[in-house]
Structure 1
């Protein structure tokens, strides 16, 4: 199995390090041709407005969006969730290609500014014990479509969801030493790690 990691900006290095420690082959994805021969892709946290602007110069998102629509498994964390959300509450990314495919409404930076970032334990379906979730200028999931399964909540609000092969999280599971959420995503694809 080879997992692509969108590597335009943000926490892509941290996701690559987690996957490497799990023994998974990876590929940095910055151009459409990097999507060939990958079995899934992770969209990291970072600055979603920077990501859409950088991607616009490469035509990456239209090609990636088609692959996701055709069934390519994807896991978007923080800014990656914003890129996957079918609906946003603001117009800050209007005029740029996003990916969509996840039937949720998301508010960008809903948990506050950088200085209001925090860690909190959350319970995640399929995991024994709490997972320490890191929220950094995190988006909030406000509304779910009928096919979206909630895997975790924080303060009664969904923070990790799944719709078929599309996963989205408000927090950064790549920060810290707990790799269980990456493992769960990979197990959902049939990988053994």
Structure 2
């Protein structure tokens, strides 16, 4: 009854009712993610062709505030002694521009993306292609997973990605580069 009275007051006052549920349809952004997004422009102005003009290595776009994603980047750095991969946070200007180049929204941080000069790969496909570039046994271990249909792999990926903040937590700031590997991070 109390809720009905409040709703009645809001309807007659002409003011919009405040959201009562934490499960509203609006996406909620953490303060850390808001700082990352605020640090970049709303429409990235980066020449993505220039990114591959002198360096053909693919670029891994990752969520810069996600602990799971940052752990994956640290793992890839240690397992890629040939330095065949470069990295950029999805929230960075270059990350947002490359997302648009791949036909995705510039603020879409829902998936890891592997950007090659002539192709883009997301979700499980990106992870498997990254795995093929790492030292043994990861290329061999990833090979059988290519046989699984993409919808099965991506379904599993979506389950993990959807709960990554709750299970693994977030950083307070974007992790854009490591001092030891600064040349492999694009900003």
TM-score band, normalised by the shorter chain? under 0.3
TM-score of the superposed pair, with normalisation by structure 2: 0.26
TM-score of the superposed pair, with normalisation by structure 1: 0.25
**Which structure shows the higher helix fraction?**
2
Q: Name the structure, 1 or 2, with higher relative contact order (CA <8 Å, separation 6+).
A: 2
**Which structure shows the higher strand fraction?**
1
